[in-house]
Amino acid sequence: MHPIETEKLTKLYGKTKALRELDFTLDEGEIMVLLGPNGSGKTTLLLILSTVLKPTSGKASVMGFDVINQSTKVRQVLGISFQDARGFWRHKPIEILRFHATICGVPRDRRERLIEEILKDLELWDARGKLFMHLSGGQAKRLEVAKLLVQRPKLAIFDEPSSQVDLRGKRIIWDHICKLREDGSTVLVATNEVREAEYLADRITILDEGVKVACNTLQSLKDSIAGGDIVELEFEAKDNKDMAEALGRLEGTFRVTKEEENHLRAYVSMAEEWVPKMANICYQKGVKVVSVRVTEPSLDDVFLHFTGRALGAASS
């Protein structure tokens, strides 16, 4: 049994298709990142899984419970941190966390200590007595994340957990999410931030216009781009015409370009396998290599490869 399983999951808002027959699974104990631009269906998927929305068609289950027919059971095993912070405007952060912890069944003896610890870690302790409506955007967002960190559900769902949060705060939140996974929770994170995805993901699912276009580990996604790795080679000698031809024939080479007299650039698949082969050829030909620099494709490149659009452009 997967913690999350969807089968042909579809959601329509009027005539707009937010999700199109999505098949999606999540493995126990992993952090899965849903990556996609605004409007790709990430939030809709999370809201369906957390029973806030009902699908138009298809099936979805959480920890074996059907999200439509067993919604109360589903709510008992998961927690969601919403994209926009949800709170009672006239309640204080500490009261909001107490309410959340109590209704989610956090034992009384651990509740207060846990709340204090999380508030301090997320730098909200000084703001614990402020009304929710007086919190800054970043503080409200951190409070939203804090609810799940106090609840520690079996399945934790975060929708853009560090949006509106400063760099320091982002790092703290990401570390807490990783710790949540280490403590036994399965985590699903939706984001359109490349750095967040790279920091957190065990696996990444790329969603675009309600369709899953790729799902794998970050490294596998990068490796799946033919010619995605760039190897810059600098030779001692200036005339290296034979080398360009020889490297071009190597398995895994996409193309080789000559940048300068003693400088070649090779576009290859899986540079970690290609570089030893290249070194072997250089040795056989007696060519001295001054430097080798390998550049992997970024997650942006991965997104571009699978969707035909850059992530930044798609989000805007």
Partner 1 sequence: MTEMRRILQLARTDFSYFFRTKWLMAVLLSLNLSDMLVIGLVYKGLMTVNYFAFFAPAVVVMGLFMGSMDTGRRIWLAFREGVIQYYLSLPISNLGVVAAYLIAGSLAAMVYSSSLLIVAFLVLPAQAVLNTLILLPFFFILAMGLAGIAAALAALASTHGEFFFAYQQLFQVLLLTLSTVYYPQSVMQQYLPSALVTVASANPLSIAAEALRDFVFTGIPIQPLVIVQLVVSSVPFALLGAFAYYKALQTLQTKGKL
Residues that bind partner 1 in the complex, under the rule CB under 8 A: 13, 44, 47, 50-54, 71-72, 75-76, 78-80, 82, 84, 86-91, 99, 102-105
CB of 38 to partner 1, least distance (A): 15
* H helices present in 183-257, as ranges: 194-200, 218-223, 241-249
Rounded to whole angstroms, the Cα distance separating 173 from 192 reads 16
CB of 89 to partner 1, least distance (A): 6
Supply 141's token pair.
């967002």
Between 91 and 171, name the residue whose CB sits nearer to partner 1.
91
Between 29 and 105, name the residue whose CB sits nearer to partner 1.
105
Between 13 and 283, name the residue whose CB sits nearer to partner 1.
13
* H helices present in the chain, as ranges: 42-49, 71-77, 93-103, 108-121, 137-151, 167-182, 194-200, 218-223, 241-249, 271-285, 299-307, 311-315
Supply 220's token pair.
């596998």
User: Strand pairing partners for 12?
Assistant: 17
User: Strand pairing partners for 35?
Assistant: 191, 206
Between 89 and 167, name the residue whose CB sits nearer to partner 1.
89
CB of 172 to partner 1, least distance (A): 23
CB of 90 to partner 1, least distance (A): 4
Among 53, 64, 39, 63, which residue's Cα sits nearest to residue 9? 53
Supply 254's token pair.
């996409």
CB of 54 to partner 1, least distance (A): 5
Between 50 and 240, name the residue whose CB sits nearer to partner 1.
50
